């Protein structure tokens, strides 16, 4: 049996977190380290990810920072190889890197579609595949946690239908990955955040408020009123779910897409 103190203990584990320069990725990387994991952090913004690395190092955990474009397969190969070489393997992948921007349905272009899917769908799949190869080679299982979104389940408040489609792809890949990798004792799950306070969200709120001709505080009030629990998530709320799935308490959870959304979508 697992006691309460074992639910999130990650002592001796090695984690790789993409999109760790800010927001959900950064919060997750810091919480993984707090729970005992050594953490490789990756972001396209080298300065931001170095800041995350410094904070983890100050906690006493081993860590490396890698600047990479998650839409480039050669970069994906490099981040897995560097993590395995410098930290000794990979036990946990938090597949978080993603991009989006505000775009109305009728305004989405082919370039919008390709840019978003290059990172959010293609990059997510090949990062999952490459990390799984490393885990299989190690021979003692692992955890893959993909960051999807309630947008991928058809939430109409999404900022961009191309983004929603890319996150729907992440949900499908998660379920298929769980079936494909379960025999190797690799658990694959997804987290579907709802409205979450991150720098990306703040930027989108500012742009949308300007488009609508309202104050940001008024737009935030409208959004909050649409959430049954009456508040949107903080990045730490998503991080807590990721760390739970990575720990002993998540050992028998596989192929699930878990909403952290204040009740926006109830299943």
232 catalytically annotated: no
Task: Please give the pLDDT value at position 43.
Answer: 98
Residue 210 lies in a domain: no
Residue 21 lies in a domain: yes
Contact 192, 152 (CB under 8 A): yes
Q: Is the pLDDT of residue 7 over 90?
A: no
Residue 212 lies in a domain: no
Containing structural domain, residue 9: 4-194+234-260
* Interatomic CA distance for residues 33 and 147, integer angstroms: 19
Block residue for tokens 């969200």: 201
Average pLDDT over residues 103-115: 96
- Residue 35, domain CATH: 3.40.50.720
The C-alpha angle 193, 194, 198, rounded to 5 degrees, equals 80
Residue 252 lies in a domain: yes
Q: Is the pLDDT of residue 2 over 80?
A: no
Task: Please give the pLDDT value at position 6.
Answer: 56
Averaged pLDDT score across all residues of the chain: 94
Residue 106 lies in a domain: yes
Q: What sections of the chain are H helices per DSSP? A: 23-34, 46-58, 73-87, 110-117, 124-138, 161-181, 199-212, 216-225, 235-246
Residue 78 lies in a domain: yes
Task: Please give the pLDDT value at position 219.
Answer: 87
Q: Is the pLDDT of residue 1 over 50?
A: no
Residue 217 lies in a domain: no
Task: Please give the pLDDT value at position 82.
Answer: 98
Average pLDDT over residues 101-109: 93
Residue 215 lies in a domain: no
Task: Please give the pLDDT value at position 45.
Answer: 98
Q: Is the pLDDT of residue 71 over 50?
A: yes
Query: What is the number of domains present in the chain?
Result: 1
The closest of 127, 50, 59, 133 to 94, measured between CA atoms, is 127
Q: What is the pLDDT of residues 149-204, one digit of tens each?
A: 999 999 888 889 999 999 999 999 999 999 999 999 999 999 999 999 888 788 88
Q: Which of 163, 201, 232, 244 is catalytic?
A: 163
Mapped onto helix, strand or coil, the DSSP state of residue 248 is: helix
Task: Please give the pLDDT value at position 258.
Answer: 98
The C-alpha torsion from 24 through 27 and 32 to 35, rounded to 10°, is -140
Task: Please give the pLDDT value at position 182.
Answer: 98
Q: What is the pLDDT of residues 132-152, one digit of tens each?
A: 999 999 999 999 999 999 999
Provide the whole-model pTM.
0.94
Q: What is the pLDDT of residues 205-263, one digit of tens each?
A: 888 888 888 898 898 898 899 899 999 899 999 999 999 999 999 999 999 999 999 99
């Amino acid at each position: 049996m697992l006691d309460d103190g074992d639910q999130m203990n990650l002592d001796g584990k090695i984690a790789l977190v993409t999109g760790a320069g800010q927001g959900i990725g950064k919060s997750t990387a810091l919480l993984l380290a707090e729970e005992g994991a050594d953490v490789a952090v990756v972001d396209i913004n080298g300065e931001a990810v170095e800041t995350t690395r410094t904070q983890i190092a100050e906690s006493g955990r081993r860590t490396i920072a890698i600047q990479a474009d998650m839409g480039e397969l050669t970069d994906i190969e490099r981040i897995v190889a560097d993590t395995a070489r410098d930290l000794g393997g990979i036990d946990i992948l938090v597949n978080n890197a993603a991009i989006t921007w505000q775009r109305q349905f009728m305004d989405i272009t082919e370039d919008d579609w390709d840019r978003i899917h290059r990172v959010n769908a293609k990059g997510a799949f090949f990062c999952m595949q490459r990390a799984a190869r490393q885990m299989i080679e190690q021979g003692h299982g692992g955890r893959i946690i993909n960051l999807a979104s309630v947008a991928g389940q058809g939430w109409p408040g999404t900022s961009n239908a191309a983004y929603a489609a890319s996150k729907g792809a992440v949900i499908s890949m998660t379920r298929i990955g769980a079936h494909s990798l379960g025999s190797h004792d690799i658990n694959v799950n997804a987290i579907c955040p709802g409205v979450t306070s991150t720098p990306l969200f703040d930027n989108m709120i500012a742009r949308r408020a300007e488009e609508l001709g309202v104050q940001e505080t008024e737009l935030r009030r409208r959004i909050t009123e649409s959430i049954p629990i009456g508040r949107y998530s903080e990045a730490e709320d998503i991080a807590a779910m990721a760390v739970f799935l990575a720990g002993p308490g998540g050992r028998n959870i596989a192929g699930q897409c878990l909403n952290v959304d204040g009740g926006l979508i109830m299943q």
